[in-house]
Chains A and B, each alone.
Chain A
Amino acid sequence: MMMASWRPGRLGMMKKFRAMLALISGAAVLGASGVFASADYETEILPILEKHCFSCHGPEKQKNDIRFDTLSTDMINDRPAAETWHDTLDVLNFDEMPPEDEPRLSDNERRTLIAWLNHEIEAVVKAMKSTGGRPVVRRLNRIEYQNTMTDLLGIETDYANNLPPEGLSEDGFKNNGASLQMSAMQLEYYLEAARMAMGKAIVNGKKPEVFRHVIEESNGTAGGKSQRGRDYSNTLSRTSFFLGKIEEDYHEHGEFLVRIRAKADLKAGQGYPRMEVALGYRVDTLMPERIIDEVEVTSERIQTYEFRGRIEDYPLPSRVQSKFPGLLIRVTNVYDDGSPMPKQETVVLEPAKGKKKAKTEKVWPEEPHLPTIEVESVEFAGPVFASWPPKHHSDILFPSKKRQTDERGYAAQVLKRFMHRAFRRPVEAAEVEPYLALFDQVRGTVPSFEEAIREPLAMVLISPDFLYLVEPGGEEKRPLDDWEIASRLSYFLWGTMPDERLLTAAEKGQLQKKGQIKRTVATMLNDKRSWDFVDQFVDQWLDVGAVDRVAVNPEFYPDWNDDLKPSIREETKHFFAEVLHERISALNFLDSDFAMVNRPVAMHYGLDESPRGMKFERVSLPETSERGGLLTQASVLLGHSTGEDSHPVLRAVWLRERLLDDPPANPPPNVPGLDSENPDFAKLPVREQLKIHREQAACNDCHRSIDPWGIAMEGFGADGRYRTEIPRRDPEKKGKMFTQPVITETTLPGGTDIDGMDGLKTYLLEEKREQFARALVTKLMTYALGRSMELTDEDTIDQLTADFIEHDYQLHRLVQEVAASNAFLTK
């Protein structure tokens, strides 16, 4: 069954949900686990303790100095008591208490005690980690740093390459101040990147000569594997590519431009051919290279396509000792419709002069059904610049007469201007002093002003004011000033520094009123930079990167192609962007009557309607489609699979963690492994294996509330395709493949029987929509604020959730409301 898309107008239902929300929000059950909701101490816990524990740890005896009848249950305020309760949890988990000669706890008693303890201790831990509802000073993460450097300097290059990978916060975010670490090595690479950046930004010396070279016919050779089994040609197909060689005096520093004139030969029923361009060189049989970009060639008339980069970012041949001198430009058509590759044919050639024996050659047959690209010419030029010195230079070293009359005064001006942009706030004259001191020191050691100013500019880029979002503050909360708001908004919605417009708004004091902020947010979401918000938030909220951590086993999925992975990740982001920008209900995340797909994804899903190219487009899903919403997207299904089969447990954990904000507890220490005596275990359906797993009390405690969610999703394989059979391998018959039917009937915690993905979606929409809404609000707040949500945020989350539901689950409005919330606007 397909749900209709959730558009405005269902007021009757909305009212009902509002009433429900009001009812439950007081009880604080929403955010907590529906299964492990806290028990009442007096009526549920105390009787168990009385029955089993008091005889040794009560009024009469206090073995080990532990006494439960007087032990405080206010764990947040009584830390020693909390420690004792924690120890109690341990001995229960290890089954060390009650001792062997005493009556055992029933499974139910044990479960109740453990659930209560887990719940209470979790609250203590949260309280201890509390930042008092304020974000901790946070540094820019890798992506924010890369974006900020690019925007600040106006040069696109890799700044973050050597920085260590970022850790995740407990709730899965990469912009959480508390979990973003600083280390000596990190700072060392910041300094290296800062100097590298200044070496590029500030040019020195005369205007360089521009080198231009046009190649009209493929003239290069690669060896071995780097030829990829293709012939050289100006016609680009699956079996041929263009390789241009430049031996002349190309530049080795600065921006380059590759300009390709080409047209497509399109074919009915096929997508657009895709032109991938790479730059590199040849070493014997290898070709070290780096891809510049890929574009779709959609026109059958000659068009010019431009590709730009910084040449020093690309692998370059040695000028002195290369056996294969010259720069290589590889132009390849990477379009592939997935049909089997043809076989090479042997052609007999005319015998060479004076030779009797005819030579043979292997050639690829034509593939007339596939689209090709015809290359007319490839031009290489560099270094290219619109003016000299380039804009990125004169933006920092602005023209001024002062430079001649008062070099030091000029340096101070340059630094102050640069610091203003880098620190994202006004800069006092006194703040420039340390940077100027460095300038003074360096100036005497180098011949030119340019060389001297690079060092203090680099120092700006390792200063905490640049690397961190510094928000001074005392013990009291305070409202943010305009500049701080500009930065928070900018990093929230663009993942980079504020632009001129935002800084001007800050300067004019136009970011204080909530109405102004909401309007600013709307403008910012309209800007293409807001893709960063979509990209980063979806990546962190839904963990679409999971697909890269799973390797698909081709024996189980012979049609699978790893090139799909980037498209699969993008699908979910475009889906989110559609819901955001088209201002439709966020309940579309739970189910929708449309999908956002490009050609490879549409083909993979077997949709009737497919875009022609790599661009993601909205496609209506027929009533009968099994797809719709997030749960049927391959990013979720593959990311939480084994690569051979689904992984119901991982999928279930994903659903509870990401969509319901109700993550199951981590595995306790020393749970016994699943030790099955059943020799046929490996042949059993996953559903049965999980059932055996749950027969053990230690496993069942957690898994009974996990597994059913995943079983409902069994109709989809690891590859994200719908399936009716599950491919399995028989370990006893040398891994011979066999199939099992899909069974998706299950009973959710709480007792609702559902069947399959449709049943699951209906259940979520009918029973869990407000919990989903609250989860989404919580995740969005976590991302916007760069910190984990705490008890003190409950009120804000409740209000935002109520507003979100009241306004038809409109994400666009929610983003504005979050930005205008007091939590967002205070330090």
Chain B
Amino acid sequence: MSKPWYLDRRTFLRGTGVTLSLPFLECMSVNAAAAPRPKRFAAVYFPYGVSMNGKDEHAKWRWFPEGEGADYQFNESLKSLEPLRSDLSVLGGLSHPNGRTIGGHDTADIWLTGAMLKGAQMTNTISLDQIAAEHLGDETRFRSITLSNTGGVGEVTRSSTLSYTRTGQPIPAINQPRLVYNRLFGVEKGSKEEQRSQLTNSRSMLDLVLDHSKSVRGKLGKRDQEKFDEYLSSVRQIEERVERSEQWLDIPKPSVNATGLHLDADDSTPEELMKTMYDLMFLAFQTDSTRFATYQLDNMNGATSIAGKFPQLLGFGKSSHSLAHGGNKPGGAEALGKWDQFRAKQFSYFLQRLRDTPEGEGNLLDHTIVMYGSSNSNTHNNKNYPTILAGGSQLGLKHGQYHRYGEDTPFANVHRTILNRLEVPVDAFADSTGELEEIVA
């Protein structure tokens, strides 16, 4: 059977002699059954843990469900996830062994990396999303996107980003929805020709800057050189971005309907801000602009977090840190539980949008693995991470149960399971010892 225009990707690449891989064009994917569907991953993190120890009438505010296995019951906090029960697993008892020994507020940095971050050892390692993006990120306009409500990188052990490069450099998170939107969907200024010549100029400019910078580096002292390497590697990375923009120049950015997006939401309108961030992640996946996204809702730095006051602004009474501290006091379990509930509802909204969008033989969620959770169970406690793993049914994940693990199972086994399901060719991740077999189909 001849397929006059349904090009095979490989043939297409050979034919044009391009060295870099090309966008995944629709004309290559008409035969849905044969074409590989995109594999995606998103991670959403919140700090300080959850309501754990409510007693008597407050027991219903415990985050972790009652019971285990397939017959578990959601408590109040996670009830909004009930409709998604068959699309997710609740995981309990897990933690990074490295994280168990470091400061009570210091673990957000390593949630996706599993690194040791203590004493003088302050260099992180590559995060899960970035490993996946390295291997599978070539086919989209953006390799990955990194979001957080506070934005930037923050400081070591109190970072405001979840993503780290191969050398352990934090990747700054964007916290302005409009900026995310403009990157993903905004129309570039100027005609295509003008854009092309500007990209050509950029390329020359960066080449020249790189050459010049190497000579600057040579004049610096040793410690300065180490710091200055950040600059050099940044130049190299945007060279790659420029190259990718050139490749994508002829393919218009997807147009999306911006109605309902609160692009100017900021820290004074937290509900709109978080909803819009979720919406943008959804749109990024739906339009296949990227396949890897991380979103940190808040960090554990009272000194810089602009998101700490969100529960106050939304009527939950206290800052996120204070709610977490109050979790064991009478009445505190409920106060914190209601905040947990609010966050879960927003997360549930994101999952449902993914699930309600058909893709291939299933839906977007079936081809997207989403991890949601924290690196504290309750505040300062670096064990028993509250974790939800959702989606990816078409990628080989099996859901519908609540699994509890002992401390002999490192949290990185979740990461390894995810990487394996995404078919990222790595043997291990951090200190993983294997996959979580219970959730593998």
Q: Which residues of A contact B (CB under 8 A)?
A: 86, 90, 121, 124-125, 128-129, 131-132, 134, 136-137, 139, 162, 164-170, 172, 177-179, 181-188, 191, 195, 434-435, 437-438, 441-442, 445, 455, 458-459, 462-465, 467-468, 470-475, 543, 546, 548-551, 553, 642-644, 647, 650, 666-671, 673-676, 678-679, 681-682, 731-732, 827
Contact = CB atoms under 8 A, between A and B. Distances in A.
B303 to A, nearest CB: 6
A438 B208 contact: yes
Contacts, number: 225
A434 B211 contact: yes
Contacts of A674: 325, 328-329
Given A178-B227, A673-B328, A679-B330, 9 more contacts: A137-B220, A168-B154, A172-B303, A188-B238, A468-B228, A470-B216, A471-B224, A666-B105, A673-B379
A164 B150 CA distance: 10
A129 B120 contact: yes
Contacts of B328: 673-676
Interface in B137-186: 150-156, 159-160, 169-176, 179
B243 to A, nearest CB: 13
Contact of A181 (B170, B204, B378, B380): B170
A183 B234 contact: yes
Interface of B: 53, 100-106, 118-120, 122, 150-156, 159-160, 169-176, 179, 197-198, 201-202, 204-205, 208-209, 211-213, 216, 219-224, 227-228, 230-231, 233-235, 237-238, 241, 301-306, 308-309, 312-313, 317-319, 322, 325, 327-332, 378-383
Contacts of A462: 205, 209
A289 to B, nearest CB: 12
Nearest to B381: A670
A191 to B, nearest CB: 7
Nearest to A546: B303
Most buried by A among B159, B224, B234, B332: B224
A463 B238 contact: no
Nearest to B324: A673
Contacts of B102: 669
27 contacts: A86-B118, A162-B176, A164-B153, A164-B173, A165-B150, A165-B151, A167-B160, A167-B304, A172-B303, A181-B230, A183-B169, A184-B237, A185-B171, A186-B234, A187-B235, A434-B212, A437-B204, A441-B204, A468-B231, A549-B306, A644-B317, A644-B318, A669-B104, A670-B380, A673-B378, A682-B330, A682-B332
Nearest to A653: B302
Nearest to A680: B330
A445 B204 CA distance: 14
Contacts of B170: 181, 183
Given A134-B221, A669-B100, A548 B306 contact: yes
Nearest to A83: B119
A550 B216 CA distance: 44
A395 to B, nearest CB: 23
A132 B204 contact: no
B232 to A, nearest CB: 9
The 9 closest A-B CB pairs, nearest first, are: A128-B120, A184-B237, A164-B172, A165-B152, A731-B331, A472-B219, A551-B312, A164-B152, A137-B224
A549 B309 contact: yes
B223 A643 contact: no
B380 A464 contact: no
Contacts of B301: 168
A485 B380 CA distance: 45
Nearest to A121: B119
Nearest to A553: B312
Contacts of A132: 223
Contacts of A177: 227
A438 to B, nearest CB: 6
Contacts of B106: 666
Contacts of A185: 171-172, 174
Contacts of B101: 90, 669
Given A181-B170, A187-B235, A437 B216 contact: no
B152 A166 contact: yes
A732 B57 CA distance: 13
Most buried by B among A465, A667, A732: A667
A86 B118 CA distance: 10
A167 B303 CA distance: 10
Contacts of A166: 152
A463 B237 CA distance: 16
Contact of A191 (B202, B312, B313, B330): B202
Given A455-B201, A731-B331, A475 B221 contact: yes
Nearest to B178: A162
Contacts of A465: 216
